[in-house]
Amino acid sequence: MTTTPLTSNAAATGPWWRRLHDALMPDYNCKAATYWWVMVLLGAAVLLHALSKVLALPSGVVLQIGAIGGVAMLAGLFPVRIARSKNSFAAGEIFLFLLLLLHGPAAAALAAAGEAFIGSWRTSRRWTSRLASPAMGCIAIFAAGSLLEAAIAASRSLGVYSPGLLLLLAMLCAVFDFMCNTALITAVPYLKRNQRPTVRELFGSFGWVGITFVGGASVAGLLFLAFQQSGSGVLIVAAPIIGMMLATLHYFFRQQEADEVVRTSALEAAEREAELVARHVLELEASEAKLQHIAFHDSLTGLPNRPRFQEHLTEMFDHARSDATRQFGLMFLDFDRFKLINDSLGHAIGDDFLVAVAQRISNQLRPHDVVARLGGDEFAVLAEGLDGEHFAVVLAERLLEVLRQPFHVGGHTIVTSASIGITFSGVQYATPAEMLRDADTAMYKAKGAGKARYALFDDTLHAEVAHQMRVEGELRRALAEGKLSVAYQPLFELATGRVTGFEALARWNHAELGMISPATFIPVAEDAGLMLPLTDFVLRTACGQLREWQSRDARFCDLSMHVNVSGADIAQPNLVARVNAAIVESGLRAKHLTLELTENILMARLESALPTLTELRRLGVGLSVDDFGTGYSSLRHLATLPVNSLKIDRAFVADMQRGSNEAAVLRSIVQLGEALGKSIIAEGIETPEQLKLLQDMGCKAGQGFHMSRPLSFELVDKLLDGLIACGPDALATIVSEHAALVH
């Protein structure tokens, strides 16, 4: 059933009583409002009836009723609040029951209305409550009192009346009064919500308040009995006793309340403490997790770092060993031009590039695959379940493809490629470290085979690695034991055939393998970090040797020496000091020494090498760009570099024929070089035709097998002796006589 709320738009314009309703009881529905009116009117009727009855009594009695009622109302002003509950009780109950026993329900009803009015005035600001409470209190006690009166009369007529029975009846009356009052008051909110309260809900809160009613009634009963025996003096004596009792109760509850406050605040403090500790533990755990993350992840890309990767690898390695079905592939990735990106675009772009790379690789993997950054531009991938080369190869091809796509980083478009080395857990490995080493080796094979590709580690690679490692060990020993030597290839003035100097070339005559080409052992030395001692050896030997030859005859005092330096040398900041030391030690003049750097090394490290090169030039040392034409630098670009000669790569000379494109290119290089103030040296002149062509182009200097192969120092000695004896014209004969011995 639904009820229409009294508040509606139509009501705002309705009759006066409707408007009054809306103002006084906007939350009352029809039922609740009706109930309220019934109660208030009934209460008013009871009140009027009680008033007429009391006023009919003798004035002395009326005065007594007024006095006791006044005390009841006064007590209503000072309720005793019960600790740990929302309830309170007023001492007024005692005086209400006393009035009831002394003067009947009419007197009690009047006092109850007054006491309830004062109580509700204090606790509520709504007139609905201020009127309903006294009405209900008045009705309840009137009903209860009428029942008590009837019961006492009945007991008297039955002859069972006794003071004890009076007390019992008074207490039962108090229970009835309480239940009646509670039921009447509690009904209002239920009616408002249109609900029906259960008996439990109605009287569930009996507890303290009910007991105070009963207690009040029993005290009133005792007072009444004492009054009957000793007259009204009792009441005067009782008032302060009751006051003291209530004050004691009041302070008892106050104390209890204070204790409760202390207890709850201690409890709250303990809870706060526990909460704080819990939060602290959580924070500790979080920072521990953060530390763990930092320790095992690369801060730039967020990928696992080398130590974490090694843990993953060891874990998977152990699984694969104990369970043949859990094989996995290990890939090593290295970018082909990362150094160039870093050097030319700056480290910030390099970093962004690596982050983008990490993202691209991750996107290609399955959730349980592992990708880690091992350092620099080196990444590694672990992919479980790659039961066969096929899957690994497919994944590698996919990775190569996505990494080949241009990267857009910081406004730059970077096109690069990666080389990938792959190995499998299926290959019988003793330790995870061996797997890592072989994946690395396979990656270098991929790089060696032309980059931007993948390579699988297999038996031939294994043999190659073993050989490489052997060569490396032996080269180290040969270098330490002074078993390397230097050969000298003469450089000529092409127009006259005059020897202008030599290029120093390292030689390794192996006891078992014979002569090993520098093309083989120089890369090994570079990988093994042996380039520095090797360069130093060649530099000192060649400088000392040249100084000796220069001092042999006045005509040789301007002979020069060309020495090759590698990328590793250029990267060392002390190159200038080392070169200076070699010059000073040998007593050579700086201008007689030229350092040759390949065009590729120069371009790759230009930014970092420039200060070193400038300082070398300041020292007076010549600088030459070796293998010119194989790199990507333009002549115009080279013009700004502190180099004074260019050595045209022998591939150009070899392809050159009269009238060919190469010849035209060569001719323009020679002309441009001259114009820029760089001397041009032709390399690899093998035939008289090539020599003639270069002479015709105006190329001033050159070297090659046609004039002379690289010579041992003894042969150079003889060559110079011959020159002294026969003059420059004998050069060709002498060289050809000895050439066969050298090669």
* Minimum separation from the CB atom of position 668 to ligand C2E (A): 22
Choose the binding region for ligand C2E from 219-227, 351-359, 606-614, 703-711 (rule: CB under 6 A).
Answer: 703-711
Does residue 310 bind Ca ion (CB under 5 A)? no
Choose the binding region for ligand C2E from 94-102, 106-114, 161-169, 704-712 (rule: CB under 6 A).
Answer: 704-712
Characterize the bridge pairing of strands 498-510 and 560-564: parallel
Tell me how far apart the alpha carbons of residues 537 and 532 are, in angstroms, rounded to a whole number. 9
Nearer to ligand C2E, 5 or 533 (CB): 533
Residue 506 interaction partner, one of Ca ion, ligand C2E, none, beta carbon < 5-8 Å per kind:
ligand C2E
Among 212, 550, 566, 586, binds ligand C2E (CB under 6 A): 566
Choose the binding region for ligand C2E from 51-59, 664-672, 679-687, 729-737 (rule: CB under 6 A).
Answer: 679-687
Tell me how far apart the alpha carbons of residues 287 and 303 are, in angstroms, rounded to a whole number. 19
Residue 522 interaction partner, one of Ca ion, ligand C2E, none, beta carbon < 5-8 Å per kind:
ligand C2E
Does residue 599 bind ligand C2E (CB under 6 A)? no
Does residue 489 bind Ca ion (CB under 5 A)? no
Does residue 506 bind ligand C2E (CB under 6 A)? yes
Tokens of residue 652, six digits: 């150009």
Q: Count other C-beta atoms under 10 Å from residue 411's C-beta.
A: 7
Tell me how far apart the alpha carbons of residues 80 and 426 are, in angstroms, rounded to a whole number. 88
Buried b (16+ CB within 10 A) or exposed e, 361-385: beeebeeebbbbbbeebbbbbbbbe
Listed in sequence order, the residues at least 6 apart from 357 whose beta carbon sits closer than 8 Å to its beta carbon are 301, 335, 377, 379, 403, 407
* Minimum separation from the CB atom of position 693 to Ca ion (A): 19
Nearer to ligand C2E, 506 or 720 (CB): 506
Among 25, 171, 358, 505, binds ligand C2E (CB under 6 A): 505
* Cross-strand pairs, 370: 382
Does residue 626 bind Ca ion (CB under 5 A)? yes
The interface with Ca ion within residues 640-699 (CB under 5 A) comprises 683
* Minimum separation from the CB atom of position 596 to Ca ion (A): 4
Nearer to Ca ion, 329 or 673 (CB): 673
Tell me how far apart the alpha carbons of residues 467 and 441 are, in angstroms, rounded to a whole number. 13
Among 120, 541, 550, 564, binds Ca ion (CB under 5 A): 564
Does residue 515 bind ligand C2E (CB under 6 A)? no
CA 94 to chain centre: 72
- Half-sphere exposure of 701 toward its Cβ, with a 13 Å CA cutoff? 19
- From the list 615, 685, 681, the residue with the least C-alpha distance to 655 is 685
Does residue 157 bind ligand C2E (CB under 6 A)? no
Residues of the chain by 3-state class (helix, strand, coil), percent to 5: 65, 15, 20
| Contact of 650 with 620, CB cutoff 8 Å | no
Among 627, 673, 699, 707, binds Ca ion (CB under 5 A): 627
Distances (CA, A) of 611 to 607, 618, 642: 8, 11, 10
The greatest distance separating any two alpha carbons of the chain, rounded to the nearest whole angstrom, comes to 173
Choose the binding region for ligand C2E from 119-127, 159-167, 428-436, 515-523 (rule: CB under 6 A).
Answer: 515-523
Tokens of residue 358, six digits: 């990490």
| Contact of 208 with 216, CB cutoff 8 Å | no
Helices (DSSP H) in 374-493: which residue ranges? Answer: 389-404, 432-448, 459-480
Backbone angles phi, psi at 245, to 5 degrees: -60, -45
Among 2, 517, 634, 640, binds ligand C2E (CB under 6 A): 517
Choose the binding region for Ca ion from 79-87, 572-580, 596-604, 727-735 (rule: CB under 5 A).
Answer: 596-604
Helices (DSSP H) in 231-346: which residue ranges? Answer: 233-296, 306-322, 338-345
Does residue 738 bind ligand C2E (CB under 6 A)? no
| Contact of 563 with 519, CB cutoff 8 Å | no
| Contact of 426 with 474, CB cutoff 8 Å | no
Does residue 565 bind ligand C2E (CB under 6 A)? yes
Residue 710 interaction partner, one of Ca ion, ligand C2E, none, beta carbon < 5-8 Å per kind:
ligand C2E
| Contact of 177 with 141, CB cutoff 8 Å | yes
The three-state secondary structure class of 562 is strand
Does residue 564 bind ligand C2E (CB under 6 A)? yes
Residue 27 interaction partner, one of Ca ion, ligand C2E, none, beta carbon < 5-8 Å per kind:
none
Among 66, 346, 518, 722, binds ligand C2E (CB under 6 A): 518
The three-state secondary structure class of 413 is strand
The interface with ligand C2E within residues 606-635 (CB under 6 A) comprises 626-627
* Minimum separation from the CB atom of position 683 to Ca ion (A): 5
Tell me how far apart the alpha carbons of residues 358 and 379 are, in angstroms, rounded to a whole number. 8
Does residue 538 bind ligand C2E (CB under 6 A)? yes
Does residue 596 bind Ca ion (CB under 5 A)? yes
Nearer to ligand C2E, 115 or 474 (CB): 474
Query: For the residues of 437-468, what is the DSSP string, one character each?
Result: HHHHHHHHHHHHTTSSSEEE--HHHHHHHHHH
* Minimum separation from the CB atom of position 654 to ligand C2E (A): 8
* Minimum separation from the CB atom of position 473 to ligand C2E (A): 20
Q: How many residues bind Ca ion, per CB under 5 A?
A: 5
| Contact of 33 with 128, CB cutoff 8 Å | no
* Minimum separation from the CB atom of position 704 to Ca ion (A): 11
Nearer to ligand C2E, 80 or 570 (CB): 570
Tell me how far apart the alpha carbons of residues 64 and 242 are, in angstroms, rounded to a whole number. 18
Choose the binding region for ligand C2E from 101-109, 122-130, 254-262, 559-567 (rule: CB under 6 A).
Answer: 559-567
Nearer to ligand C2E, 181 or 566 (CB): 566
Does residue 474 bind ligand C2E (CB under 6 A)? no
User: How many degrees, rounded to 5, is the angle at CA 328 between CA 322 and CA 330?
Assistant: 130
Q: How many residues bind ligand C2E, per CB under 6 A?
A: 23
* Minimum separation from the CB atom of position 352 to ligand C2E (A): 35
Choose the binding region for ligand C2E from 74-82, 158-166, 449-457, 518-526 (rule: CB under 6 A).
Answer: 518-526
Binding site residues, ligand C2E, CB under 6 A: 489, 505-506, 517-519, 522, 535, 538, 564-566, 596, 626-627, 650, 684-686, 703-705, 710
Binding site residues, Ca ion, CB under 5 A: 564, 596, 626-627, 683
